[in-house]
Amino acid sequence: MKFNFRFFSNPNQNLQFIKQLILVLSRSMRYLSFGAFGLMIYELGYTTDPEKLYYTTKIFEILVLLLGLTIILRNVFSNLSRKNKRIIFELVVAIFLLVSILIRWNLFGEYPDSVLLTSKKYILTNIFVTLIFIQELGKFSLLVNKLKLSPSLIFILSFSILTIIGTALLYLPRSTTAGISLIDAFFTATSAVCVTGLIVLDTSTAFTPFGQVVIMTLFQIGGLGMMTFTTFFGFFFRGSLSLENSLFLRDYINEKNVGAISSTLIKIVIFTVLVEFFAALLIYVFTEDSLFASAGQKLFFSAFHAISAFCNAGFSTLSSGLYEPGFRYLYHMHLVVAVTIVLGGIGFPVFINYYNYLVRVLTGAVRFVFIGEKYRHTPRVSNINTRLVMYTSTALMLVGFATYWYFEQDFTLKGLSYYGKFVTSVFGAVTPRTAGFNSVDMTALSVPTILIYLILMWIGASPGSTGGGIKTSTFAVALLNTWSVVTGRRRMEIFGRQISAESNRKAFAVIALSFFTIGLGVFLVTIYNPELALIDVAFEIFSAYSTVGLSLGITAQLSTASKLVVTVVMFFGRVGTLTILVAISRKIKERRYKYPEETIYIT
């Protein structure tokens, strides 16, 4: 349908007026959706008492009514300017929102519980408000490049804002079963956003299903990255990314080809969804029905642990983790969790690399079978970063498996079957690589295993993944540089390629800053909690910095000051100490002159 309204005698004035009106309506829609979603979350997490939330509910209803009208008006005038082609979804949502508000105001009859926002009759209202909020948040995130801030600073701010929001949500009365202090809410939110998994309160008993959903949402967004998550929805609803958006996003998803930013973003999200879906399905299959009160609880358990495993978060809805009675011998399920952890920690660049390679190979095979086209040479798609990450990750897992198998024979592996020892050793080699799950009693580990865990936690996962640590590539570059010094070579070479001097400088900067952060964290916690054993404190700080989440059982005993220290260490470990320094430091231009060179005595 086309409209031919004439506001002014000049058609250009009409078009300009419509554009300005669309802009005002778009901004109004954004802020109305933010306000409605905020009130919805507040009421869902606060109480179901209609007397306490009467005015909140009325304001929410007015905002939803205005939101529905604004959506209709914006789409009508967008159709006038012939620019908006995605109006069906928004118009359906708008009509439903308007009808739902009329129902709540009893214009179609009396409904005894129509005051309550949490009534099951109005669950679709909440869903559609959430969808509009996600759409507007995604579109709003595409404007972040106009702030003229560095990508490093935006990255830090995104995690900070998400942590603050998470703290507010967990502080709501309905998030917990018996209340929570502000410092504990802040600690838990930071642990979830930074996909660490350290907890000061039992996730299974201290948090309600609403609180657990909040935690799961936080580590899902934190694992992918706030900017990646919101930009995907902005791209999904808008349909394209501008050149500015692409240039801004390439550092977040490690994609240097600007033209492939959109496709890479879609691949990352699809890969995440598919892995988490199949992991949840397998966990559901390999978990016994008798352990749950209902199929719904089992389904939530499967989804929670699949997302937590892929995001390397380490959160569990079981008090003792996977060592919980009834779950500790479900070895098939443990293997599923372990594989999911590896897939999440291997890094999205590696996945994209192998995806491109497989597409080339399969395309060639299909053309050969159906067309008869002869074999073509497939260029090397697996770059040096992918090969270095794969070799290092495999070596670390083998070392972790062998050392765990050897040192734990008389400790956590004692009395287990051969298959149980194998699975437990595999799990024990994988989980310290920033995952945080435990399938054994952590306090029963031998001292050599704890020391090996410190090294594995410190190294962590791979770059561009959901995990933390200094990263496998950083560790590999440091080893290669050491070997080149030992052998008297001036260049670092591997796989027929030379590693740049910039990579070497960054690697050693990351290592030095990690030791400084970890050392300072251990020093402060031993001051604020002098009664704790040094090895327990060191394990806690290593785990926090590398966003692992494993603990020797002292997290709940930390004082308020120590909790703040661990919180800061978790945040620094997730966003990167080097990233923080780059974001706050002033860039110095390269000087055109060079001082005379001298040698410093190192040994």
- pLDDT over 70 at 204, yes or no: yes
Query: What is the pLDDT, as a whole number, of residue 112?
Result: 47
C-alpha 50/C-alpha 42 separation (Å) is 13
- pLDDT over 90 at 383, yes or no: no
Q: DSSP assignment of 134-183, as one string?
A: HHHHHHHHTTGGGG---HHHHHHHHHHHHHHHHHHHHTSGGGBSS---HH
Q: Which two tokens stand for residue 139?
A: 């579109």
**SS3 of residue 109 by DSSP:** strand
Q: Which residue has the higher pLDDT, 569 or 254?
A: 569
Q: Around Cβ 60, how many Cβ atoms within 10 Å? A: 24
Q: How far is CA 292 from CA 282, 301, 327, 448, 511, in A?
A: 16, 9, 11, 37, 45
Percent of the chain scored above 70 by pLDDT? 81
Q: Is the dihedral of CA 403, 408, 413, 415 positive or negative?
A: positive
Q: Where are the domains of the chain?
A: 1-141, 381-584
- pLDDT over 50 at 115, yes or no: no
C-alpha 303/C-alpha 297 separation (Å) is 10
Whole-prediction pTM value? 0.86
Q: Around Cβ 95, how many Cβ atoms within 10 Å? A: 13
Which residues does residue 107 pair with via DSSP β-bridges, in sequence order?
109
pLDDT digits (tens, 9 = 90+) for 433-480: 888 899 999 989 999 999 999 999 999 888 878 778 888 889 999 998
Residue type, 83: K
C-alpha 349/C-alpha 254 separation (Å) is 7
Cα maximum dimension of the chain: 91
| Helical spans, DSSP H, in 373-500 | 384-407, 418-430, 447-459, 472-486
38 CA to centre of own chain = 22
Q: From the CA atom positions of the chain, what is the Rg in Å?
A: 27
C-alpha 211/C-alpha 209 separation (Å) is 5
pLDDT digits (tens, 9 = 90+) for 284-305: 999 999 999 899 999 999 999 9
- pLDDT over 60 at 118, yes or no: no
The torsion region of residue 176 among left (phi > 0), alpha (psi -120 to 50) and beta comes to: beta
Q: H or E stretch including 497?
A: strand 497-498
Percent of the chain scored above 90 by pLDDT? 35
Residues 6+ apart with CB under 8 A from 258: 243, 246, 247, 250
